[in-house]
Each structure stands twice: as C-alpha cells, then as structure tokens.
Amino acid sequence: MTRTGGLHSDHRPKQQLPDARKHQIISFVKSGIRILGYILLPFDLMIAMGVLIVSEIVGIVEELV
C-alpha cells in the first residue's frame, strides 16, 4: 500500500536532468555563431542569413541537451 492507501506502485521512470555544462558550452557556441552572423550582415546578406539560421538550429539542439 502507498501513503494514500492505494495499491499503486511508484515505479515511474525518473526524469533525466539536463547537463548544465553541455548546455553552457552549446550556448556559448550559439552566441559566437550569432555574433559572426551579425558581423557578416553588411558584407553578404545571404551568407549572414545562413549563419543566423544555423545559430537557431544550434539553439534548438541547446534546448534538447
């Protein structure tokens, strides 16, 4: 029996905590890519846009770590 009086077992899978160090490293990489993208804006709009899109993809990966 559980504390609430039911017959349910507490065998739920534990939620894995995010790795703070990996998150920080990926965040710094993403920031560097963004800075590069903004530096490229006055020189080549298409390349700058590509770099900024890559930084957004890295941001998605950052949230999954």
Whether residue 1 is predicted with pLDDT greater than 60 in this model: the reply is no
**Which 8-state DSSP code applies to residue 5?**
S
10 Å CB burial of residue 48 (0-12, 13-18, 19+) is middle
What's the chain's average pLDDT? 88
Q: Where is average pLDDT lowest: 12-16, 25-29, 52-56?
A: 12-16
The proportion of the chain whose per-residue pLDDT surpasses 70, expressed as a percent, equals 85
List the structure tokens of 54: 């890559």
- Which pTM value belongs to this model? 0.73
